[in-house]
Chain A
Amino acid sequence: EIVLTQSPGTLSLSPGERVTLSCRASQSVSSSYLAWYQQKPGQAPRLLIYDVFTRATGIPDRFSGSGSGTDFTLTISRLEPEDFAVYYCQQYGSSPITFGQGTRLDIK
C-alpha cells in the first residue's frame, strides 16, 4: 500500500500569511490521483482539491495544488481565519485508498 507522509505535523501561522503543505508518497501516485481535504473539529472532511490541482466546487482560488510522482503540495495563498484546520492528502490511484496523517494549521 502507498504510505503518504505529510509535513510538517503542525504549523502556527497568522491570517494573511501564505502556507505550503507537503505530502510525500512512498511510491509514485498513479494517474496523478491525489486529493486534499480540510477537516475542522467535530466535522466531516471537506474535499478541496482532486487530481492534484483541480479545485472542488465552491473552493476559493486561494487554495491550489501541485506536484507529481511522489511529491505534492497544497498552497493557501493568503490564510483566512476559517482556514485554520487539519489538512489531509489522499491517494486514489492504487488500492487500498490511503490518507496522510494530516497537517494541523493553528492560529499564531
Chain B
Amino acid sequence: QVQLVQSGAEVKKPGASVKVSCKASGYTFTGYYIHWLRQAPGQGLEWVGWIVPHSGVTNYARKFQARVTLTRDTSITTSYMELSSLRFDDTAVYYCARGVGAPIFDYWGQGALVTVSS
C-alpha cells in the first residue's frame, strides 16, 4: 500500500534551518511528483512547492522561493524539504503529499511539526 512516512517533530531557534524527510513506499517513487504543504496551528493549508523525483526539477511558491529547498534521493525513495532562516510564523505541521494530475493530493504523510521558539 502507498505510504509516505515523515521524520519527527523538530524545535528550532529563529534564524536556524530545518530539514524534514518523507520516505515513500508502495508505488514507483519516480512516477509521481512529491508536494510539500504546511498548516500553521488552527489554520488552513498552504502549498510550499513540488519536486519531480525522476529529474529533481523543483517549483516553489513565490512566498517560500528564497528560503526553501526540495531534494530527493531516489536510491532510498525519500524526499526532503529544507527551510532556512526560520521565523516564529514558520511554526506549522509540514506535510508531504503525492501529486496526481494537475495536481490533486491522493496520499499524504502523517505530518511533521516544526516549532520555532527562542
Contact = CB atoms under 8 A, between A and B. Distances in A.
A84 interface: no
A32 B49 CA distance: 21
A101 B42 CA distance: 10
B95 interface: yes
Nearest to A47: B106
B102 A45 contact: no
Contacts of A35: 104
B61 to A, nearest CB: 5
Size class of the contact patch on chain B:
20 to 34
A100 B108 contact: no
A67 interface: no
23 contacts: A35-B104, A37-B45, A44-B97, A44-B110, A44-B111, A45-B45, A45-B105, A45-B108, A46-B108, A47-B104, A47-B105, A47-B106, A50-B101, A56-B106, A88-B44, A90-B45, A90-B104, A92-B102, A92-B104, A97-B47, A99-B44, A99-B46, A101-B44
Interface of A: 31, 33, 35, 37, 44-47, 50, 56-57, 88, 90, 92-93, 95-102
